[in-house]
Amino acid sequence: MREHLGEKLHAQALELQRLEERLQELRAEHKQLEAEARDQFEALVNPGFSPQSTSLAEILTAAHNLRAARLPRELFNTLAEESQRLGVRAVLFEVRGDAAWAAAAQGFGAVLDEAALRSLVVPLSVDTPFRQVLERGVDVCGTPDVLSKNPNVLSRLRPDSLDSVLLLPIRVGGAVAAIFYADSGGSGALAEDALKLLAELAGAQLERLMAREDKARAAVKNGSGPSV
């Protein structure tokens, strides 16, 4: 009886030790994330930077929420939510083969319900702004007219004629893994620099998630199982 109790207590002690080590790792990751976000935010602050009341605290909060995502779909939803807090409407398109598939959106209300979102697909085999973002990794910014070659996007999202529209690449390992659409939703201007920063942070987290998935698959293939 005592021996069994001793073994149980020892197992609990080991579990507590593992939890403490994991907590220390999470604290270190949080500090690193804050430092990265602060550095990137400060790098954007120049005479041409127009954050539109976006503060460092808001960026750090958004960065923390992005880093907390544990799945790509969760990350896309979080990016859309954080973008909406900056006063924009946002859609995240996941690049899959020769098309970009809408994966998450915020700010559109009944205009873009779940069924409409899932059926929104942008071909990448033709020359459009979406393809430019994919192939060149460039930003595309302008009025809705810039998307005249993507009539399905305009008809579904219905930006106002005076809105600002922005397409940003979300990069993983140098390649574009997703395309970030944002428009000003009737307010005219965009917090463009802050949105670019969020896209960079989202790309960094997506790269971590994909590396983790690759590591888990490799562990299963080698018969060792995923690490905890």
**Which comes out higher in pLDDT, residue 179 or 50?**
179
Query: Any idea what the CATH number is for the domain that residue 212 is in?
Result: 3.30.450.40
Three-state SS sequence of 99-124: EEEEEEEECCHHHHCHHHHHCCEEEC
Is 23 within the bounds of a domain?
no
Is 190 within the bounds of a domain?
yes
Mean pLDDT confidence for 188-207 = 92
Is 28 within the bounds of a domain?
no
Q: Roughly what angle, to the nearest 10 degrees, separates helices 192-221 and 72-85?
A: 170
Is 38 within the bounds of a domain?
no
Q: Pseudo-torsion of CA 227, 26, 53, 46, nearest 10°?
A: -90
Q: What is the pLDDT of residues 13-27, one digit of tens each?
A: 667 677 667 667 656
- Total number of domains in the chain: 1
pLDDT for 165 beyond 50: yes
| Domain range for 67 | 45-221
Model-level pTM? Answer: 0.75
Angstrom distance (rounded) from CA 133 to CA 218: 31
